[in-house]
Amino acid sequence: MSLIVMKFGGSSVGDADRMKRVAARIVDRQRQGNRCVVVVSAMGDTTDDLIDLSKQIVSGAPPAREMDMLLSTGEQVSMALLAMAIRELGESAVSYTGWQAGMITDPVHSKARITDIRPDRVIKSVEEGHIVIVAGFQGMTEDGQITTLGRGGSDTTAVALAAAIKADLCEIYTDVDGIYSTDPRVVKVARKLNEICYDEMLELANLGAAVLHPRAVEYAKHYQVPLVVRSSFSTNEGTYVKEEAVMEQGVVVKGIAYDKNVSRISILGVPEKVGQLAKVFSALAKEGIDVDIIVQSGVKDGAADFSFTVSSSDKDRAMEVIASIQSEIGFREAVSEVNLVKVSIVGAGMVSNPGVAATMFETISELGVSINMVSTSEIKMSCVIDADRLNDVVRALHTAYGLDTDVQAFVGGPAERR
């Protein structure tokens, strides 16, 4: 008898019929001889509807504490209805809010982090034979304030709870069949991966494959929680995410990811002085702006140029921050570029296969596409290129690394992110 945590996102429980289908799925799993704990997100558009409601009341940014109070009702509605749907099928079910399930967080409203889990109530109910439903995305501070975990929060709830109750498996149900070698909407012959290791998944998650939230993957890696990502609409086997994935013969690169949300900022004519870069990046960090790839050119006439990428949504703010420190740094000018994308190849075997990087450069060059920036790590390599050739580049890389299959991939809707 296995103890399984099952997580269902908002589109999986988007209406009463889907809710019933999810309930049937859970009941099946329980009747196969498992004990099930279910983490559920708010139904479909509920969160957006609640945000709209708050905008009718508040002109500026709403107070984060009250926003958490408001948004946490979304999961409470879906967990109660899901418990009812399960009981309707003849199994006993009981639902718990984040605070009832003992999800303790820090007090950073709207993006709280889980600091502790006290799952006594959940464990007791499981032992009594109930299917337990827990609201995703929410917790409580030590002080009794309701918090929410921010984007990807329900994935994190599921993984953290699985770790706390020592579940045998954490199943993330979503609207795609599993993790693919690349986006099936771009490459029709993308292949579903049977297994992937945490680090690879982390790179893919961070690189924009929006199936699993990076924070949840980090948590899973840290607590060694075996994960599987699978479809809530089919019974196909999903993709297992674990510490050591079996290396498939000849497959060094596991997947190809891309990120369209990339802008490049170049600071030109920076007087050569110790600590100049540090000043720039600490000013950006203070504003919560993450910097990704950084490239510095050689020094010429006592001044250097350097470039870095930020999320396009942060670009304007980043330019303001840089303008505000121009006199302090004394650089000549700062320019920004949009219409860029980052393409990455990911695979734990890359580090011991030196030909991998060369293949990437060759493949992109053969298409006549110039590479603007490059960044590498042990298990990934990223190139920033012009946006208009993205699809060609992804397809060519997919073929070059031997990832194509004959089977057309299942293409889901937009992935869920809560």
Using CA atoms in the order 104, 109, 113, 114, what is the torsion angle rounded to 10 degrees?
10
Interaction with a second copy in 225-244: which residues (CB under 8 A)? none
Which 3 state secondary structure label does DSSP give 194? coil
Q: Which of 88, 243, 320, 362 binds a second copy (CB under 8 A)?
A: 88
Tell the smallest beta-carbon distance from residue 122 to a second copy (Å).
12
Segment near a second copy (CB under 8 A); pick from 90-98, 154-162, 262-270, 293-301: 90-98
Measured CA to CA, the distance from residue 325 to residue 279 in angstroms comes to 9
Is residue 335 at the binding interface for a second copy, with CB under 8 A as the rule?
A: no
Amino acid at 260: K
Amino acid at 28: D
Tell the smallest beta-carbon distance from residue 133 to a second copy (Å).
9
> DSSP for 401-413?
TT---SSPPP--S
Residue 26 token pair: 């859970």
Measured CA to CA, the distance from residue 227 to residue 179 in angstroms comes to 12
Segment near a second copy (CB under 8 A); pick from 86-94, 221-229, 287-295, 335-343: 86-94
**How deeply is 21 buried, as exposed, middle or buried, from its count of CB atoms within 10 A (0-12, 13-18, 19+)?**
middle
Give one word for 412, left, alpha or beta, with left for phi > 0 and alpha for psi -120 to 50. Answer: beta
Q: Which of 94, 167, 209, 350 binds a second copy (CB under 8 A)?
A: 94
Dihedral (CA of 346, 352, 353, 356) sign: positive
> DSSP for 53-88?
HHHHH-SSPPPHHHHHHHHHHHHHHHHHHHHHHHHH
47 vs 239, beta carbon nearer a second copy: 47
Residue 105 token pair: 């967080």
Measured CA to CA, the distance from residue 415 to residue 12 in angstroms comes to 11
Is residue 90 at the binding interface for a second copy, with CB under 8 A as the rule?
A: no
Q: Which of 73, 110, 194, 391 binds a second copy (CB under 8 A)?
A: 73
Segment near a second copy (CB under 8 A); pick from 95-103, 190-198, 314-322, 348-356: 95-103
Q: Which of 21, 111, 113, 121 binds a second copy (CB under 8 A)?
A: 121
Q: Are 98 and 139 in contact (CB under 8 A)?
A: yes
Q: Are 292 and 376 in contact (CB under 8 A)?
A: no
Tell the smallest beta-carbon distance from residue 43 to a second copy (Å).
9
Residue 155 token pair: 């994935």
Interaction with a second copy in 126-155: which residues (CB under 8 A)? 144, 146
Q: Which of 70, 267, 280, 304 binds a second copy (CB under 8 A)?
A: 70
Tell the smallest beta-carbon distance from residue 400 to a second copy (Å).
50
Q: Which of 80, 186, 291, 371 binds a second copy (CB under 8 A)?
A: 80
Q: Which of 5, 81, 228, 229 binds a second copy (CB under 8 A)?
A: 81
Is residue 100 at the binding interface for a second copy, with CB under 8 A as the rule?
A: yes
Q: Tell me the backbone φ, ψ of residue 113, rounded to 5 degrees.
A: -110, 140
Q: Which of 24, 45, 51, 65 binds a second copy (CB under 8 A)?
A: 65
Q: Are 37 and 94 in contact (CB under 8 A)?
A: no
Return the bridge partners of 180, or none: 192
Interaction with a second copy in 3-22: which residues (CB under 8 A)? 16, 19-20
Distance of alpha carbon 201 from the chain centroid = 9
Tell the smallest beta-carbon distance from residue 41 to a second copy (Å).
15
Is residue 58 at the binding interface for a second copy, with CB under 8 A as the rule?
A: yes
Interaction with a second copy in 280-319: which residues (CB under 8 A)? none
Is residue 72 at the binding interface for a second copy, with CB under 8 A as the rule?
A: yes
Q: Which of 95, 148, 206, 363 binds a second copy (CB under 8 A)?
A: 95
Site string for a second copy, 36-55 (x = CB under 8 A): --------------x--xx-
Interaction with a second copy in 185-224: which residues (CB under 8 A)? none
b (16+ CB within 10 A) / e for 74-95: bbbebbebbbebbbebebebbb
Segment near a second copy (CB under 8 A); pick from 91-99, 103-111, 300-308, 399-407: 91-99
Q: Given the rule CB under 8 A, which residues bind a second copy?
A: 16, 19-20, 50, 53-54, 56-59, 62-63, 65-67, 69-70, 72-73, 76-77, 79-81, 83-85, 87-88, 93-95, 97, 100, 121, 144, 146
